[in-house]
Amino acid sequence: MVGSEYLWPGRFHERLHISTRQNAGIVRDWVTSIGLEASAYGTHSMRRTKVTQIYKKTGNLRAVQVLLGYTKMDSTVRYLGVELEDVLAIA
């Protein structure tokens, strides 16, 4: 993807990308269409679940930090809900 290109472009020329509200609606509609409870599957919970799975499988906290776009490792640790001592032991 190049600088000004968006993964999900908007439908109108004045909007170059879809909004977070539109994204949430797409996810809600998709979750409902496959028979799941939409309130249990939001964009944020899916984001958090994915990086938690990556961390548990690889133990690579730096990769999770990059995927989340965090600059501080302690923010990443707090987001994942793991103890710093556990992270240091894995490292």
6-65 tens-digit pLDDT: 666 666 666 677 778 888 898 899 999 999 998 888 888 888 888 888 988 988 889 999
Instruction: Report which of residues 68 and 18 the model is more confident about.
Output: 68
Residue-range domain boundaries for the chain: 8-40, 43-90
pTM: 0.60
Question: pLDDT at position 14, please?
Answer: 64
Distance of CA 88 to the CA centre of its chain: 24
Output the six-digit token pair for 35.
């028979």
Output the six-digit token pair for 85.
């001592």
Within 13 Å, how many C-alpha atoms sit on residue 48's CB side? Answer: 12
Residue 66: CB atoms within 10 Å: 11
Instruction: Report helix, strand or coil for 20.
Output: helix
Question: pLDDT at position 1, please?
Answer: 44
